[in-house]
Amino acid sequence: MFSPKEIAGNYSNAGAVKARLPLVKMFVLAVFAGAFIALAGVGATAASATIKNPSIAKLVGACVFPAGLALVLLAGSELFTGNCLIIIPVLEKKVSVLEMLRSWSVVWLGNFAGAVLISALVVYGHTFSLFGGALAQSAVSAAQSKANLAFGDAFIRGILCNFLVCLAVWAALSSQNAAGKVAALFFPIMLFVLCGFEHSVANMYYVPAGIFASSEYGISAEGLNWGNFIFKNLLPVTLGNIVGGSGLVGFGYWYAYLKKPGSIQNTDKNNKITDKAA
């Protein structure tokens, strides 16, 4: 098992590799991640769609959804929310800000493509016909709720979500085997779903699926449209995810474990103190 300080050092190197992937490979791996998260969303909705007690329904769906991040980490892919930790190699001066922004942009777009693809496939393949159409109704209701969030609420819930998602990634990196990684990521991901926090990549599936299902199944949903999705949900949630992942987890753990003391400078291999700040 790696210690938190070892995780920070390992991610500093791994994040630099992630940021410098060839663009096409980066995009393809991001499409996979978007699809994995979307499939977890399908499963979570299907598991909870017919449970009448909303609290129990939320808990059941929350216990299914961690499958998405498990696939992302074990199968190999690039997830925007997890990649907010690339701020660590940036702070270590192993990656430039421009390289980080390039990575975030390409991965975000790839995640969007993968998630929307799955949403279209499950709707037009009539997966949502399960349970006498209850699955379609549940998907539209969830999407409508997300599309009508206030900008500030979506932003704050995005911060809280990616604080937990990046902690899940961080905890998973402590283990050197698959079982340990899945066990470590399970509870932080379960918590963010159970608490109703907002994950930009998950919403790339949930809201388009609801929009498609609303049209395909003739379910009316006021305020559920692409404009509200982009500007009232996806934009603030993405910004919140960056703050929660990069600003809190990434910067916080870099500062705690990797930041060099500002008061001394080591200039030789024997780590002799050669200069002290006044």
The structural domain count of the chain equals: 1
In the chain, alpha helices (H): 4-19, 23-48, 54-64, 67-71, 87-91, 97-124, 134-147, 151-172, 178-194, 200-216, 226-228, 235-242, 251-257
What pLDDT was estimated at residue 277? 37
Residue-by-residue pLDDT tens, the chain, 278 positions:
899 999 999 999 999 999 999 999 999 999 999 999 999 999 999 999 999 999 999 999 999 999 999 999 999 999 999 999 999 999 999 999 999 999 999 999 999 999 999 999 999 999 999 999 999 999 999 999 999 999 999 999 999 999 999 999 999 999 999 999 999 999 999 999 999 999 999 999 999 999 999 999 999 999 999 999 999 999 999 999 999 999 999 999 999 999 988 633 443 444 443 334 33
What pLDDT was estimated at residue 275? 39
What pLDDT was estimated at residue 262? 65
**Residue 85: closest CA among 103, 59, 67:** 103
Q: Write down the pTM of the prediction.
A: 0.91
Go through 181-219 and write b for each residue having 16 or more CB atoms within 10 A of its CB, e for each that does not.
bbebbbebbbbbbbeebbbbbbbbbbbbbbbbbbeebeb
Strand partners for 265: 275
Which residue segment(s) compose the domain that 10 sits in?
4-276
What pLDDT was estimated at residue 132? 92
Give CA–CA dist 64/48, Å, rounded: 9
224 token code pair: 């559920």
Task: Catalogue the long-range contacts made by 55-60 (C-beta closer than 8 Å, 24 or more residues apart).
Answer: 58/193, 58/194, 58/196, 59/194
- Residue 85, CA atoms < 13 Å, CB-side half-sphere: 29
CATH number at residue 56: 1.20.1080.10
